[in-house]
Chains A and B, each alone.
Chain A
Amino acid sequence: MNHKELIAKLSERNNVSKSEAEMLLDTFVATLKTQLLDGKAVGFQSFGSFEVRKKEDRLSVHPATQIRTLIPPKLVLNFKQSTILKDKLNAIKQ
């Protein structure tokens, strides 16, 4: 499902126009982004949490060429599903 399809579905659910739904979704994404860039984690109880995590620098050795490479530290956006979502998914699957 792509962005457009999602907007269409959301407009149906909330009885709002597609443009309004798009605006809402965009604002949601923008807000989420600013919060994450601030270094804050954002959690949604029924869904999961978004968090920026730091990966420390490390030495990696290429197994074939034995070239050792220093991988610099980096920040990664991490999503963790909530237990509610997990249970739901598993219940349906079974």
Chain B
Amino acid sequence: MSKDKISSQEMVEQIAAKLSVSKRVAEEFLKSLFAEIEETLLKGEAVKIKNLGTFKLQWNEPRKSVNVQTGEVITIEGYNKVTFTPDSELKEAVNEPYSHLEPVELDGQEIPSFEIEKPDSIPAEPLRNLNEQASEIRDILSEINALSASKTAENSALIDNTPDIPDYDLVLIDEEEPTIEENKSEIEEPEATPQPEIIEQSQYTEKESEKPYSSANDDEVKIDEPAEEPKVSVTTLVPAQLPLRKKRKGLRIIIGLFITVLIITGGVYIAYFSSSCLRCWIEYDLLSETNRQKISDFKSSFTGWFTGSNTFEKSDSTKVEGSQKITLPEKVTEPEIATEPEQTIDETSVTTEETDSFDIVFKNRRNYSEFLGEEAISDGMRLTNIAQHYYGKKEFWVYIYEANQDNIVHPDRITPGTVVRIPKVDRRLIDKKDPRCLQKAKELHDLYVGKK
């Protein structure tokens, strides 16, 4: 017990001091007091002391219990117990520090309302079902939106990828413009008629207008339809969902804006690159297909760069020669382009920055100043593995080899423990989707592996 405990001896001293009597008197008095209380209690009477409380004798009946450790059933025998009930004054005096506190009913008001709610809960269930449906519909709508977003992304991708299908680009633009108008009409109609029933009607008109439109046009629009139709069915199911309508409206505006922006950027893109890039692309095309001989010339000069000369200074000069050889046929092809100006407009987006700069990048001597990291070659590790890890394609190991030619004698015989620096190669050179990159890498591969 943390509290100080005062013994009977101290009590005697205090009483003696207060009444200025001898300790013995006080002690005798206390002893007689307790003896008297005890005797009276044993008579079966209660002892009441003024300002203190009441002592009573209580008989506790024998009861059965279980020994927790052994599980044995034991009987606790009956016994007498002195109980003390403090006087109300004393009780209050003792509890004074907390006397200001009163029991608080926490949720007394909730309970009656809960009892009222119970009968109401049965008709409330359909409402809850409706809410669940609404949440489900919301989920479906969000999915549709995501689909449409990806669809627009596909459209943009189509515009970018149009080099492969040159004629398709114009068709795509023709198609997209009506869709914007469609979207605009969709947006305007609900705005004019905010009541849900009329919206439903407008929705039907939209559906009707969509059908001939979709049947008239080709595959592109048919992708639109499945995405569009669930929307219509959903809204007809719950016509009273005005917030949902508003949400859709906003989304349509956003989608419409997005498509317009796409078209504008596409147009600018076409106009900007039509003149310059196409030429380069055609140059390359003609170079690779018609002027094979020139390439073989280039190849021979290229191989001569490595086989004939060990120093880089010399190879540089030969390389310049090679590039000059290539530029010559390019000049020859230019008039051919001039004869076909219409084709340039169609194939505008065919050419990209990558195509025209690719050769230049490849021809320029790659000086590896930036590095992605270093790898210590362990036993069984190959440059191809590292290339696969860093560039995503094992064919590009040649660039790692080029950057580490000082350390590596032969790419197939690297001494374990050699630290190889992984160069940061121009992204256009290690485009694993570009067949030309692979071809160039293969050329280099033949070059390096053949050199023994």
Which residues does A use to contact B, with CB under 8 Å?
A: 1-3, 6, 9-10, 13-14, 16, 21, 23-33, 35-37, 39-52, 59, 65-79, 81, 85-86, 88-90, 92-93
Contacts and interface: CB of A to CB of B under 8 A. Distances in A.
B38 A43 contact: no
A77 B94 contact: yes
Q: Which size class do B's interface residues fall under?
A: 35 or more
B82 A48 contact: yes
7 contacts: A13-B32, A24-B21, A36-B94, A44-B8, A46-B8, A86-B79, A89-B81
The 8 closest A-B pairs by CB, nearest first: A72-B101, A79-B84, A89-B80, A13-B32, A3-B50, A47-B34, A81-B82, A77-B86
A10 B33 contact: yes
Given A41-B5, A43-B7, A75 B97 contact: yes
Contacts of B57: 89
Contacts of A31: 11, 14-15, 18
Interface in B49-97: 49-53, 55, 57, 59, 79-84, 86, 90-91, 93-97
Contacts, number: 179
Contact of B106 (A30, A41, A70): A70
Contact of A6 (B3, B36, B96): B36
Contact of A1 (B48, B84, B96, B104): B48
A32 B107 CA distance: 42
A26 to B, nearest CB: 8
B28 interface: yes
B32 A10 contact: yes
Interface in B99-145: 101-108, 111
A29 B15 contact: no
Contacts of B83: 79
B251 to A, nearest CB: 48
Contacts of A47: 34, 37-38
Contacts of A78: 84
A33 B53 CA distance: 11
Given A6-B48, A79-B55, 18 more contacts: A13-B32, A14-B32, A24-B26, A26-B51, A27-B15, A27-B18, A28-B15, A32-B11, A39-B3, A67-B111, A68-B108, A72-B104, A74-B98, A75-B96, A77-B53, A77-B91, A90-B79, A90-B80
Given A36-B94, A73-B98, A74-B98, A28 B80 contact: no
Contacts of B98: 72-75
B272 interface: no
B94 A37 contact: yes
B105 A14 contact: no
A44 B30 contact: yes
- Chain A binding surface SS class: mixed
Interface of B: 1, 3-8, 11, 14-15, 18-19, 21, 25-26, 28-38, 40-42, 45-53, 55, 57, 59, 79-84, 86, 90-91, 93-98, 101-108, 111
Contact of A69 (B30, B45, B51, B103): B103
Nearest to B31: A46
Contacts of A32: 11, 52
A71 to B, nearest CB: 5
Nearest to B81: A81
B5 A6 contact: no
A89 B83 CA distance: 13
Given A31-B15, A44-B8, A67-B105, A6 B93 contact: no
B122 to A, nearest CB: 21
Contacts of A68: 105-108
Nearest to A78: B84
Contacts of B5: 40-43, 49
B81 A10 contact: no
B78 to A, nearest CB: 8
A40 B32 contact: no
B55 to A, nearest CB: 8
A26 B37 CA distance: 16
B1 A41 contact: yes
A67 B108 CA distance: 5
Contacts of B26: 24
A33 B35 CA distance: 21
A68 B105 CA distance: 6
Contact of B29 (A14, A40, A66, A77): A14
Nearest to A90: B79
Contacts of A33: 51-52, 90, 93
